[in-house]
């Protein structure tokens, strides 16, 4: 057991921390106006965060999952919307392209995505297929040289601003989940339209859209992997994605804690700082313990993946715990701020709203428990 970060990991964490300070000034306004942080996504591309785990030969930074988690945690402490843009792009699009894409697919799609020149989105969910992800209604008919894609995807992060979409679709209804494929769809393909932006509770400056496909011709060479690999591709992708969302949730919790701790030392009631009241001290103690536990689970899941070991259960455990901690302790951070926590200027109400989604996307908390229980019972 060794709990110290390497010098390289510390440098990455510090670089992300320094960059994240730039996000702070406009975060409240971007949230209020649901404004996508274009200039910061560009900057994150320049800093290497938009291709952090992609090998350098494909334009990435060539770093490991732990480095990715450290960067996401720092970004999410300040701006959880920016964090999910990075997470969906890296975990859900770049990872699968790098792992299973052909050389042609990598040159054409992975390289511009990894350098941050282009943005990616992952489209699995549908109006009637969220938790029950294999119940796909989007159909891709095999027409020889191409697939004819028809259907609707729901809730797609980066949906409006992405250039490249990984779209999961049923190619053979009779084969159930073994008749599902993943297709690379470019923005601008005829028949592909983007629905209106969702007006959300939290992560408001990340954009979430439905995607509509009407007789979209997708070249056969845009399928990733063998015929019928799409559902397993999605499940494997989500195993890694859940580590990213765990890091986002951890960052949200830690960001709210930092604010609450600092505030508790300056706000005075009954002649002393509120941090001198035991009721507040106990809240801070619980935050410290549970956030550290979430951090250890998240780093361990990243480490397990980096060791080449199976990591589905570890990822689900980290995501489940970190998201529950984020929700619980952002509520406490608002409480510690009293009335000031309820207004926008103090940032904690935004973090509380942002926390909720981490219990829902990339598998709800109920689905994480289902994944963990299946693994326990199978072992």
Token pair for 235? 């499940």
CB-nearer residue toward ligand FAD: 156 or 336:
156
Site for ligand FAD in 298-357 (CB under 6 A): 357
CB-nearer residue toward ligand CAA: 146 or 361:
361
List Cα–Cα distances, 1 to 4, 20, 193, 303, in angstroms: 9, 30, 51, 12
Cα separation of 110 and 108, whole Å?
A: 6
Token pair for 228? 């019928």
Stretch in the footprint of ligand CAA (CB under 6 A) among 20-28, 123-131, 191-199, 213-221: 123-131
Cα separation of 330 and 314, whole Å?
A: 24
State the nearest-atom distance from the C-beta of 295 to ligand CAA, in Å: 21
Q: Catalytic residue among 198, 362, 366, 375, which? A: 362
Token pair for 279? 């009721």
State the nearest-atom distance from the C-beta of 251 to ligand CAA, in Å: 15
Asked about 362 being catalytic, the answer comes back as yes
**Residues touching ligand FAD, count (CB under 6 A):** 21
195 lies in the site for ligand FAD, by CB under 6 A = no
Which of residues 47, 50, 82, 88 is near ligand CAA by CB under 6 A? 88
Cα separation of 293 and 201, whole Å?
A: 27
Q: What is the 3-state secondary structure (H, E, C) of the chain?
A: CCCCCCHHHHHHHHHHHHHHHHHHHHHHHHHHHCCCCHHHHHHHHHCCHHHCCCCHHHCCCCCCHHHHHHHHHHHHHHCHHHHHHHHHHHHHHHHHHHHHCCHHHHHHHHHHHHCCCCCEEEECCECCECCCCCCCCCEEEECCCEEEEEEEEEEEECCCCCCEEEEEEECCHHHHHHHEEEEEEECCCCCEEEEEECCCCCCCCCCEEEEEEEEEEEEHHHECCCCCCHHHHHHHHHHHHHHHHHHHHHHHHHHHHHHHHHHHHHCEECCEEHHHCHHHHHHHHHHHHHHHHHHHHHHHHHHHHHCCCCCHHHHHHHHHHHHHHHHHHHHHHHHHHHHHHHCHHHCHHHHHHHHHHCCCCCCCHHHHHHHHHHHHHHC
State the nearest-atom distance from the C-beta of 232 to ligand CAA, in Å: 5
CB-nearer residue toward ligand CAA: 20 or 92:
92
Pick from ligand CAA, ligand FAD, none: which does 239 bind, CB < 5 to 8 A by kind?
Answer: ligand CAA
361 lies in the site for ligand CAA, by CB under 6 A = yes
Pick from ligand CAA, ligand FAD, none: which does 371 bind, CB < 5 to 8 A by kind?
Answer: ligand CAA
200 lies in the site for ligand FAD, by CB under 6 A = yes
State the nearest-atom distance from the C-beta of 238 to ligand FAD, in Å: 9
Confirm if 362 and 323 have CB atoms less than 8 A apart: no
Which of residues 115, 134, 152, 365 is near ligand CAA by CB under 6 A? 134
238 lies in the site for ligand CAA, by CB under 6 A = yes
Pick from ligand CAA, ligand FAD, none: which does 312 bind, CB < 5 to 8 A by kind?
Answer: ligand CAA
Which of residues 16, 61, 67, 88 is near ligand FAD by CB under 6 A? 88
Token pair for 239? 């195993």
Pick from ligand FAD, ligand CAA, none: which does 156 bind, CB < 5 to 8 A by kind?
Answer: ligand FAD
Which residue in the block uniquely carries the two structure tokens 């732990």?
66
Confirm if 208 and 159 have CB atoms less than 8 A apart: yes
Site for ligand FAD in 122-181 (CB under 6 A): 122-125, 130-131, 155-157
Cα separation of 291 and 355, whole Å?
A: 13
Q: Which residue is nearest to ligand FAD (CB)?
A: 130
177 lies in the site for ligand CAA, by CB under 6 A = yes
Which of residues 170, 208, 264, 368 is near ligand FAD by CB under 6 A? 208
Stretch in the footprint of ligand FAD (CB under 6 A) among 11-19, 178-186, 222-230, 366-374: 366-374
82 lies in the site for ligand CAA, by CB under 6 A = no
Q: Catalytic residue numbers? A: 362
Contacts with ligand FAD, residue ranges (CB under 6 A) = 88, 122-125, 130-131, 155-157, 200, 208, 357, 360-364, 366-367, 370
Contacts with ligand CAA, residue ranges (CB under 6 A) = 84, 88, 92, 122, 124-125, 131, 133-134, 157, 177, 231-232, 235-236, 238-239, 312, 361-363, 367, 370-371
């Amino acid at each position: 057991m060794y709990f110290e970060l390497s010098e390289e990991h510390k440098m990455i964490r510090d670089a992300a921390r320094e960059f994240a300070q730039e996000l702070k000034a406009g975060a409240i306004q971007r949230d209020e106006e649901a404004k996508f942080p274009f200039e910061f996504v560009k900057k994150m591309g320049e800093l290497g965060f938009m291709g952090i785990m992609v090998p350098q030969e494909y334009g990435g930074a060539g770093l490991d999952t732990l480095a990715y988690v450290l960067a996401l945690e720092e970004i999410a402490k300040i701006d959880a919307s920016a964090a999910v843009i990075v997470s969906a792009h890296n975990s859900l699009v770049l990872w699968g392209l790098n792992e299973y894409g052909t050389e042609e697919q990598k040159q054409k799609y992975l390289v511009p995505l990894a350098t941050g020149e282009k943005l990616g989105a992952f489209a699995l969910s549908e109006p009637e297929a969220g938790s029950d992800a294999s119940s796909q209604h989007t159909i891709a008919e095999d027409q020889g040289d191409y697939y004819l894609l028809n259907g609707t995807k729901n809730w797609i992060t980066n949906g409006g601003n992405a250039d490249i979409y990984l779209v999961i679709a049923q190619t053979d209804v009779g084969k159930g989940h073994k008749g599902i494929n993943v297709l690379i769809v470019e923005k601008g393909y005829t028949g592909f339209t983007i629905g209106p932006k969702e007006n959300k509770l939290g992560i408001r400056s990340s954009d979430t859209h439905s995607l509509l496909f009407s007789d979209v011709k997708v070249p056969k060479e845009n399928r990733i992997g063998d015929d019928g690999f799409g559902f397993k591709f999605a499940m494997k992708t989500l195993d890694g994605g859940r580590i990213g969302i765990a890091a986002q949730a951890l960052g949200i919790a830690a960001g709210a804690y930092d604010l609450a701790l600092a505030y508790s030392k300056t706000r005075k009631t009954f002649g002393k700082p509120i941090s001198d009241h035991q009721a507040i001290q106990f809240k801070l103690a619980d935050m410290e313990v549970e956030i550290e536990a979430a951090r250890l689970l998240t780093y361990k899941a990243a480490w397990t993946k980096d060791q080449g070991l199976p990591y589905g259960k570890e990822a689900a455990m980290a995501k489940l715990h970190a998201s529950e901690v984020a929700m619980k302790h952002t509520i406490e951070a608002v409480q510690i701020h009293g009335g000031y926590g309820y207004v926008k200027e103090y940032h904690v109400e935004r973090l509380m709203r942002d926390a909720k989604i981490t219990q829902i996307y990339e598998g709800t908390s109920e689905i994480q428990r289902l994944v963990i229980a299946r693994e326990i019972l199978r072992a």
